[in-house]
Amino acid sequence: MAHIKNKQILIGISGGIAAYKSVELVRILVRNGARVKVCMTRSACEFITPLTLQAVSGNRVHTELLDPDAEAAMGHIELARWADLILLAPATANFMAKLAHGIADDLLSSICLATAAPVHLAPAMNRLMWANQATQANYKLLQTRGFVIHGPAEGEQACGETGAGRMLEAQQLADLLAASLAEKNTAIAGKTVLITAGPTREAIDPVRFISNRSSGKMGYAVAKAAKAAGAEVILLSGPVALESPAGVKRYLVESAKEMHQKALQLARQADIFIATAAVSDYSPAHVYEQKIKKSTDTLTLQLHYNPDILFDVSHAYPDLFCVGFAAETQDLLKHAEAKLQRKKLDMIVANPVGKNKGFEKDTNQLEILWQGGHLSLPENTKEKLAIDLIQTISRVLYSE
Ligand code: C5P
């Protein structure tokens, strides 16, 4: 976490039970050489005391907007200017709503309005509060305005329920901050990266299709990481329930054939191609014009092989740095190596799928192979793995 050293990080804590994790987060950041100041809302002080944060950060904790002493020493404008990066952890539903609508009625929200530094959020709340339409609308608004949002994760919640809304763990957040503070002088900065993501849908009739369990999360995380590393990112996506990451040019397609045609066209302007899409290997030979009726006991569909997008792009553009994914249920490395050769790739990313692994999940585990190199990345969030993958691509490109 070299990129954290000497960085000035302001941790903003709003009132949620996940505030206890922020103590560990501040400790990790300080241990890695960051200068950390903490600002807490009044309700955050009901969950943990400013004294605890003062002890771990080594600095006085800021809580009041209209405190003459505090304003004289380090007022909200000073703090807003001081920070290289602000992380709101936890960010409650209420705090996200204030941020989305420019409300500045306390010290922390005023700082967020007055800063030019990147503002990151680690949302934490009950799953229904997270799923609520108002919260989701605020989340999308914040994303489009360039706020960087980490998580939330799914799992057991402090309220006893299970679902999406848990704050990421302290170490995960520290890793994500370190990656985003990394200098943008990597080999990928300024390059154009084309990424395919999500599943494809192969129509059977007007209402039915063949598809797979891909959520697109890995590809979208790779797009976000490439953008954060300073690349121009083009995301060619199948149907997913994800918002386009901020600053990324997205094209939506449905079928493998559409994705194939668009990829060949977009690859012309790309320097790097990363194929994360789970493309359907086959599509119905005949698409029925009307909905198929239940008239017989059995129905036979004839399927035709779809074009291999990655194969065709890598052969059409020999100078393009091509990265493939190999999702396998068995003999991971053997299959991945074979694909690296057959598809004429510069790098392949193998990940185990099936038995609760890979598709639809927030975490993954990767083996990255390239000519003369191999890197194993143990299970982590797809966001963190995407950052590591982009750094690995940068390193391999740089050494070429
Ligand atoms: O051959 P297999 O489907 O296992 O290869 C996986 C890799 O190839 C992934 O990178 C995937 O995005 C890409 N692929 C493709 N077009 C296909 C099939 C796979 O681009 N029709």
Mutate to test the pocket of ligand 1, among 274, 309, 342, 348 (most ligand atoms within 8 A of CB): 309
Quick one: pLDDT at residue 147?
87
**Ligand 1 atom having least distance to the Cα of 263:** 20
Between 352 and 206, whose confidence is greater? 206
Q: Which of 99-103, 156-160, 395-399 has the highest mean pLDDT?
A: 99-103
Please indicate, yes or no, if residue 187 is contained in any of the structural domains: no
Please indicate, yes or no, if residue 63 is contained in any of the structural domains: yes
Question: Is 159 among the residues known to form the active site?
Answer: yes
CA of 240 to the centre of ligand 1 (A): 18
The reply to whether 351 and 288 lie within a common domain is yes
Residues in Cβ contact with 229 at an 8 Å cutoff, skipping those fewer than 6 apart: 182, 184, 186, 188, 189, 390, 391, 394
Residue 364 banded pLDDT, cuts 50, 70, 90: confident
CA of 263 to the centre of ligand 1 (A): 13
CA of 311 to the centre of ligand 1 (A): 8
Between 364 and 101, whose confidence is greater? 101
Please indicate, yes or no, if residue 186 is contained in any of the structural domains: no
The reply to whether 138 and 266 lie within a common domain is no
The reply to whether 198 and 304 lie within a common domain is yes
Mutate to test the pocket of ligand 1, among 196, 276, 279 (most ligand atoms within 8 A of CB): 279
Please indicate, yes or no, if residue 59 is contained in any of the structural domains: yes
**Ligand 1 atom having least distance to the Cα of 281:** 21
Indicate the pTM of the whole model.
Answer: 0.68
Mutate to test the pocket of ligand 1, among 308, 315, 322, 393 (most ligand atoms within 8 A of CB): 308
Percent of the chain with pLDDT strictly greater than 70: 94
Please indicate, yes or no, if residue 51 is contained in any of the structural domains: yes
Give 32-86 pLDDT, tens digit per residue: 999 999 999 999 999 999 999 999 999 999 998 877 666 656 677 888 989 999 9
The reply to whether 266 and 322 lie within a common domain is yes
From the candidates 45, 112, 159, 322, give the one annotated as an active-site residue.
159
CA of 339 to the centre of ligand 1 (A): 9
* Pairing label, strands 232-237, 249-252: parallel
Give 162-205 pLDDT, tens digit per residue: 888 999 999 999 988 988 887 554 678 889 999 999 999 999 99
- Convert 13-65 into a string of H (helix), E (strand) and C (coil): ECCCCCHHHHHHHHHHHHHCCCEEEEEECCCHHHHCCHHHHHHHHCCCCECCC
**Ligand 1 atom having least distance to the Cα of 256:** 21
Q: Within 6 Å (CB) of ligand 1, which residues are found?
A: 196, 256, 275, 277, 279, 306, 308-310, 324-326, 339
The reply to whether 351 and 307 lie within a common domain is yes
The last residue of a domain, from among 136, 157, 181: 181
CA of 281 to the centre of ligand 1 (A): 8
Q: What is the mean pLDDT of residues 332-341?
A: 92
- State the residue range of the domain holding 352: 192-399
The reply to whether 310 and 332 lie within a common domain is yes
Residues in Cβ contact with 314 at an 8 Å cutoff, skipping those fewer than 6 apart: 273, 320, 322, 343, 344, 345
What is the residue whose two structure tokens read 């907007």? 65
The reply to whether 150 and 230 lie within a common domain is no
| H-only helix segments in 282-381 | 309-316, 332-342
CATH number for the domain harbouring residue 177 = 3.40.50.1950
The reply to whether 137 and 218 lie within a common domain is no
Element at 129 (helix H, strand E)? helix 127-131
**Ligand 1 atom having least distance to the Cα of 280:** 21
Could you tell me the sign of the dihedral formed by the alpha carbons of 109, 140, 37, 154, in that order?
positive
Quick one: pLDDT at residue 216?
95
Quick one: pLDDT at residue 356?
63
Q: What is the mean pLDDT of residues 260-274?
A: 98
The reply to whether 329 and 307 lie within a common domain is yes
The last residue of a domain, from among 181, 210, 240: 181
CA of 276 to the centre of ligand 1 (A): 8
CA of 277 to the centre of ligand 1 (A): 7
Please indicate, yes or no, if residue 111 is contained in any of the structural domains: yes
Quick one: pLDDT at residue 184?
55
The reply to whether 124 and 199 lie within a common domain is no
Give nearest CA residue, ligand 1 atom 5: 326
Instruction: Look at 83-92, 200-209, 362-371 and tell me which has the smallest mean pLDDT.
Output: 362-371
Please indicate, yes or no, if residue 166 is contained in any of the structural domains: yes
How many domains does the chain contain in total?
A: 2
Rounded distance between C-alpha atoms, residue 303 and residue 204, angstroms? 10
The reply to whether 354 and 231 lie within a common domain is yes
The reply to whether 254 and 212 lie within a common domain is yes
Rounded distance between C-alpha atoms, residue 60 and residue 38, angstroms? 8
CATH number for the domain harbouring residue 215 = 3.40.50.10300
Mutate to test the pocket of ligand 1, among 310, 332, 369, 389 (most ligand atoms within 8 A of CB): 310
The last residue of a domain, from among 181, 200, 222: 181
Please indicate, yes or no, if residue 324 is contained in any of the structural domains: yes
